[in-house]
A and B are shown apart, each in its own frame.
Chain A
């Protein structure tokens, strides 16, 4: 398995009256080059799970794997792991501390001990990857940027590690619809063109579902289901029970099917929905 966990359990504050199982017995795996969505309501354990995947948190029980190897406590191995698995935190712009955008993005490669020339190359590449190469903001103060730009800079400041896996914790939180759209394009191109394995946590299934190969659904620390996007979205009723909204398009398809139009309900992109409805209509008229 490329990335995965086996019977992962995590308890915060073990051995105190505050002890709480944030994750219970989670087993899942995803393949290299895939795009995975981690969905679950607030407090379901998404952040906790994600922080195990690059060794920031240690399992209370069970194992975490990356590239076929178990993630252990060895310090050198952990450093190597964190170079390969980049993690973008929830509200990542809260971490900004540099005086210029350049320094912010250069932080990670400088930590790797690269020389300034290589650092600059990496910064430029990361800036291009997030689509900010033409906005000339490298010399600006990070706090002067717009929310969408800040989010991109935050992502660039992890991409400059040149990881092969990029994990993002609620990357769309707090962005306006346009910023959200840009973000989705960015993630899609990183995955398709950049060949980066991507994992995104969200509590809002929407346009982003169209990008995902796999869904992993969490609720109250437990794994509810995981598998191909199509298969999971077909189980809309179960998702709704968890208080998770279906993507709008999928919702409409479920509605249409319920009212007697013979359409399939595992559809989550707009174009596929159009085709399906037209086809059903034609069949109906005949």
Chain B
């Protein structure tokens, strides 16, 4: 099994961050993101950047994973910068292009906003790179539990998410295999108009659905055979305990948030 590669994110390892409990990691990320929105000064923001890079070092994530993770937001960042440059006024005029001017306030604000965006993405990336999708799901599921009181089937929702996570790589692998098989039979998935392309996908989608339904059926059967019942109380194979280190991490990020408010950083 290619174990989660296809989700593009999780990077196996056993660093400090890999070992943190997801029930702590998830809220810690939320608190850090809140801190990022709370800070308004460049020095504070730069401190956060330095911090995230140090954390990546500690997690032993190769640099190119950061670049890969940042690529999707490249255009959003450029667009934001562009808007700020030309539409935020104030300070000295730096540059004039016909009726348009670029003023210093726009430059500073633009830089600040995209730096904040990049930092935000980097922190989130650190979470997904060091947490398996499965434990991430269980981490999130823990915070869904209170919703059980108002009648939401949270256990089941988490189970559905976990199973979906488990099967995404399988389905991707399957679709690659099918694509190769049909290419061997002369299929062409690359050229042609959009309409043709859509039509060409039929030999891919039909077998994919057939196998997905068969798999679902088999899985349901296997789960029932092992005593799965809706609403039953379940325990987990790996009971996750929250250690002193976990609490310490949570404390540190809380202090960071408090400090950013208190000192108006």
Contacts and interface: CB of A to CB of B under 8 A. Distances in A.
Interface string A37-79: 0000000000000010010100000000000000000000001
B185 A111 contact: yes
Nearest to A16: B5
Contacts, number: 67
Interface stretch (B86-94, B137-145, B159-167, B174-182): B174-182
B181 A89 contact: yes
B202 A92 contact: no
B203 A97 contact: yes
Contacts of A56: 180, 183-184
B184 A17 contact: no
Contact of A82 (B2, B183, B206, B211): B183
B12 A95 contact: no
Nearest to B209: A97
B182 A95 contact: yes
B207 A158 contact: no
B184 A87 contact: yes
Contacts of A94: 178, 181, 207, 210-211
Interface residues of chain B: helix, strand, loop or mixed (majority): helix
A161 B186 contact: yes
Contact of A95 (B2, B3, B13, B181): B181
B11 interface: yes
Given A56-B180, A95-B181, A13 B186 contact: no
Interface string B178-208: 1011111111100000000000001111110
Contacts of B11: 17
A280 B174 CA distance: 53
A64 to B, nearest CB: 15
Contacts of A83: 186
A54 B180 CA distance: 10
A89 B71 CA distance: 36
B12, B177, B184, B203: most-surrounded residue (chain A CB, <10 A): B184
Nearest to A99: B206
Contacts of B203: 95, 97, 107
A92 B2 contact: no
A111 B207 contact: no
A107 B185 contact: yes
B184 A82 contact: yes
A108 B185 contact: yes
Contacts of B2: 12-13, 18
A50 B207 CA distance: 22
10 contacts: A13-B2, A18-B2, A89-B180, A89-B184, A95-B207, A96-B210, A97-B202, A107-B187, A108-B186, A111-B185
List 7 tightest A-B contacts by C-beta distance, closest first: A111-B186, A97-B206, A87-B184, A108-B185, A89-B181, A97-B203, A56-B180
Given A16-B5, A87-B184, A161-B186, 10 more contacts: A18-B2, A18-B3, A56-B180, A56-B184, A79-B188, A82-B184, A96-B210, A97-B203, A97-B205, A111-B188
